[in-house]
Amino acid sequence: MEAVATDFGIKEALDRLGVKEINEGTSTGSLCFSKGELLESYSPVDGLLIAKVRSTTQEDYDKVLDSATKAFKIWRLMPAPQRGEIVRQFGDKLRELKEPLGKLVSYEMGKSYQEGLGEVQEMIDICDFAVGLSRQLHGLTMHSERPGHRMYEQYHPLGVVGIISAFNFPVAVWAWNTALAWIAGDVCVWKPSEKAPLCGIACQNIAAAVFKENNLPEGISNLINGDFKVGEMMTTDKRVPLISATGSIRMGKIVAQRVAERLGRSLLELGGNNAIIVTPDADIKMTVIGAVFGAVGTAGQRCTSTRRLIIHDSIYDKVKNAVVAAYQQLRIGNPLDEKNHVGPLIDKDAVKMYNNALEQVVAEGGKIVVAGGILKGKGYESGCYVKPAIAEAELHYDIVQNETFAPVLYLLKYSGDVENAIDIQNGVVQGLSSAIMTNNLREAERFLSVTGSDCGIANVNIGTSGAEIGGAFGGEKETGGGRESGSDAWKVYMRRQTNTINYTTELPLAQGIKFDFS
């Protein structure tokens, strides 16, 4: 283990989570120790190397899949409520380790400590949701057109679920998928982001302990580490019927193609280019809170981050001035220090992307309202800290049409009715999250109607960022169409089967067809 920050208890957190450097490789969760290339995890908080883990090789991967496949044959036979009990125990372990896991998320990824704790709380919440759901995996009963017949449908587990997660939510998105997959009777193989491998190891340690305590196979929960090549092992593998992938649109298109080639299933959660519409009837104070948190929370590295603020021309200057004033109060620094609002970007490549976006918006005719820039000096040694920026722009700008995973907010102006604002909001290829700030009931209902927001998430008088466990999470268009977390998202992790039972002594055929041998 390399030297890490000690003033915020990171070393102690790592120890409690069992995260340490293993020279022979890192356990994949199936008693497999990799001989692959070293993968280094640097913290964007202070630029220090936290630890080194080894990437999964093809040989390692095949051992993991063999273990997972064998474990599935045992796990699927356990009644769903009993599987729910295991998930309940996992949730309780997360409660015990919420503080150290939240710190690791903050230190390895760079989001604020409060956001790190919030992410672990999401894991706990989805476990609670899944426990209840384990007694509600219901089907339907239908009336048959044939007398003496009963028709119904039921759901069965799929098998091995492959999970590919992104760096910005290094633990919660895995839990969204895993908790539901587990109660469905599936086993999971997880490839976390190569930018946050230690978070994956910590979660695997927690899960493995629960399965061991219950004398269950380790192969129910599996971890593989590495870059896109390791992920590709799963996307092309017929033994993995479902791939759940979170990341960029570019990545999602590659995953979708690979999985479709073998007629597998994809659950895609891809990019967002989210907007808040601000109408003349908006509460300005609420608007500022929603817009600022949405734009700068997690340093603008959420798929639900607010990228565009679409403001009516009659209140444009008032809203702009209020948001700009709020930006002047932002504190940027070590995310483990709870006095700070904004932490670092994930790495220097992200900083480069941020700078390119600001240069491009000016080149396309935009105007910088709140200047950005890289922060230097004491506390900013990692080179990953930037100033949240605001620019006035137009919808047709290429930079506005594309998602910039950084704290850059674009101000756009609309005139006339709310329909014009909705057209601007919908005028991008992404369709994840959206919001409207208004106290006008007709505007709110128009926004939520069939001709309103085309996003998977549409909010009224709250921002675009953040989601509750109870609702299905996901987006439309090039966001991928997937749904995770609440509602009936559990169905994607199962296969549907229609059953017909004939309890008579005759065999009538459907649609009145006659086929008589007598």
Of 45, 64, 52, nearest to 24 by C-alpha is 52
Catalytic residue list contains 269: yes
Query: What count of other Cβ atoms lies within 10 Å of the Cβ of residue 499?
Result: 11
303 carries an active-site annotation: yes
110: which residues sit within 8 A by CB, 6+ positions away? 43, 44, 45, 299, 301, 335, 343, 344, 345, 346, 384
Task: Give the sheet arrangement for strand 221-223, strand by strand.
Answer: 221-223, 187-191, 160-164, 242-246, 265-269
C-alpha span between 517 and 98 (Å, rounded): 69
The answer to whether residues 206 and 177 touch, using CB atoms and an 8 Å cutoff, is no
Question: Which residue is it, tokens 């196979």?
Answer: 217
Residue at 27: amino acid letter? S
What amino acid is encoded at 352 in this protein?
K
- Catalytic-role residue among 199, 203, 303, 455: 303
The phi, psi pair for 111, rounded to 5°, reads -75, 165
First-to-final CA distance of the chain: 81
369, amino acid identity: V
Token duo for residue 336: 């483990």
Cβ within 8 Å of residue 445, ≥6 positions away: none
Catalytic pick among 122, 269, 403, 443 = 269
Q: Record the tokens describing residue 288, joined without a space.
A: 């500022």
Q: Please name the helix (run of DSSP H) or strand (run of DSSP E) that holds residue 123, with its range, or none.
A: helix 113-133
- CB of 244 closer than 8 Å to CB of 482: yes
- Rounded to the nearest 10 degrees, the angle between the axes of helix 98-109 and helix 80-96 is 70
Active-site amino acid positions: 269, 303
